[in-house]
Amino acid sequence: MQDNVYLPQLARVVRIADEVAGERAIKTYHVEPLDSAGFEHACGQCAMLSIFGRGEMMISIASSPLVKEYKQFTIMRTGRVSLAFHELAVGDVVGMRGPYGNSFPIEAWRGKNLVFIGGGVGLAPIWPLITTAMAQRGDFGDIGVFYSTRSSSIMYRAELEALRGQADVHLEGWRTHQAGVAAGTAEQTVTAENSVAVVCGPPAMIKSVIQNLCQLGFADEQIFTTLENKMKCGVGKCGRCNVGKDYVCVKGPVYSWAELKKLPQEY
């Protein structure tokens, strides 16, 4: 983490990709720090991005820690600050500070089968895990990627298609995925034995998928998710991220299902 957690680094937008069009459009940004040192991060951590005079927002870092040249962020247009980001152009300068939160214990998963299940823009927080695992493909067993959306629009479409042949990739419609993820997963011979499942998406989708994974035999300790949407100040000072006794900014955002079950159902 930076020495001063409140002081943004200046960073330049070097690439913008339109992922999904429409009222809730999604764009992906590659941001390079003007100070070449930047900061290191781990899979699942977040950063605070700011546009001076417009505001700031906490967002998951969507690039692999193996990528040193830039940080990737995928942002859905939902409010005032995200709209300001959607108005950016390549070459614009933003503020960036972090990283914040804990991370996925990917080192402990070496040798295991990995199942990634993302819904909508919820694919972004687990994308660093997917790309890191693919870059170190020989360190893991079978890798399955399941993705669902409310429409036919798919973010990271080209990247997901490029994974075929190295991973078991399934791009499902929202209705099919929401109602039948357990059946779909079982049909693809995903088993709980020696496996870890990572889920991220809308809260209702996360809860539904976790229930189905449990029915497939996954233990609570084998299922992970992230509450990055609860992250606010990043350092546990504002109090807006608390779930029961936990400040998600400090304890999370990454939790196993075993850990989440001990907390109030406020997430």
Each domain of the chain, given as residue ranges in start order, spans 9-100, 106-226
Q: How confident is the model at residue 153 (pLDDT cuts 50, 70, 90)?
A: confident
Q: What is the reported pLDDT for 51?
A: 95
Average pLDDT over residues 89-98: 96
Q: Judge whether 46 is annotated as a binding position.
A: no
pLDDT over 70 (residue 93): yes
The answer as to CATH 3.40.50.80 being correct for domain 106-226 is yes
Side-by-side strand order, sheet with 143-149:
168-173, 143-149, 113-119, 195-200, 223-226, 254-256
The CA distance from 61 to 138, in Å, is 24
Is 106-226 in the same CATH topology as 9-100?
no
Q: What is the reported pLDDT for 203?
A: 87
Q: What is the reported pLDDT for 267?
A: 57
* Number of neighbouring beta carbons within 10 Å of residue 264: 10
Interior angle at CA 84, CA 75 and CA 4, nearest 5 = 75
Average pLDDT, the chain: 88
Q: Judge whether 214 is annotated as a binding position.
A: no
pLDDT over 80 (residue 235): yes
- Closest C-alpha among 27, 54, 58 to residue 227: 58
Q: Judge whether 233 is annotated as a binding position.
A: yes
pLDDT over 70 (residue 183): no
Contact 104, 74 (CB under 8 A): no
Q: Judge whether 249 is annotated as a binding position.
A: yes
Q: What is the reported pLDDT for 205?
A: 86
Higher pLDDT, 124 or 2: 124
Percent of the chain with pLDDT over 90: 59
The CATH superfamily assigned to 9-100 is Translation factors (2.40.30.10)
Instruction: Specify the 3-state DSSP secondary structure of 104.
Output: coil
The CA distance from 116 to 106, in Å, is 13
Percent of the chain with pLDDT over 70: 91
Q: Which of 17-26, 34-43, 67-76, 222-231 has the lowest mean pLDDT?
A: 34-43
**pTM: predicted TM-score of the whole model, two decimal places:** 0.91
104-126 pLDDT tens trace: 999 999 999 999 999 889 999 99
